[in-house]
Amino acid sequence: MSQKAIALPDGVRLAVSPLSWANDVLEDLGADISLDTCLTDAAEVGYQGVQLGRKFPRDAATLRPLLASHRLDLASGWHSGELAERSVDEEMQAVADHAELLRAVGCKVMVYGEVAMMTPGSPLDAPMSQRLIMPTADVAAYAARLTEFSSRLAGEYGLALAYHHHLMMVAETFDEISNIFDKTGTEVGLLLDTGHAVAAGFDYTQLIERFSDRIVHVHLKDVRKSVMREVRTGDLSFNAGVRSGMFTVPGDGIVDFTPIARFVRNSGYRGWLVVEAEQDPAHAPPRATVARAFDHIGKVFAD
SS (H, E, C) the chain: CCHHHCCCCCCEEEEECHHHCCCCCCCCCCCCCCHHHHHHHHHHHCCCEEECCCCCCCCHHHHHHHHHHCCCEEEECEEEECCCCCCHHHHHHHHHHHHHHHHHCCCCEEEEEECCCCCCCCHHHCEHHHCCCCCHHHHHHHHHHHHHHHHHHHHHHCCEEEEECCCCCCCCCHHHHHHHHCCCCCCEEEEEEHHHHHHCCCCCHHHHHHHHHHEEEEEECEECHHHHHHHHHCCCEHHHHHHHCCEECCCCCCCCCHHHHHHHHHHCCCEEEEECCCCCCCCCCHHHHHHHHHHHHHHHHHC
Q: Is the pTM of this model over 0.95?
A: yes
Domains and CATH numbers, the chain: 9-302 (3.20.20.150)
pLDDT in tens, the chain (303 residues): 344 458 899 999 999 999 999 999 999 999 999 999 999 999 999 999 999 999 999 999 999 999 999 999 999 999 999 999 999 999 999 999 999 999 999 999 999 999 999 989 899 999 999 999 999 999 999 999 999 999 999 999 999 999 999 999 999 999 999 999 999 999 999 999 999 999 999 999 999 999 999 999 999 999 999 999 999 999 999 999 999 999 999 999 999 999 999 999 999 999 999 999 999 999 999 999 999 999 999 999 998
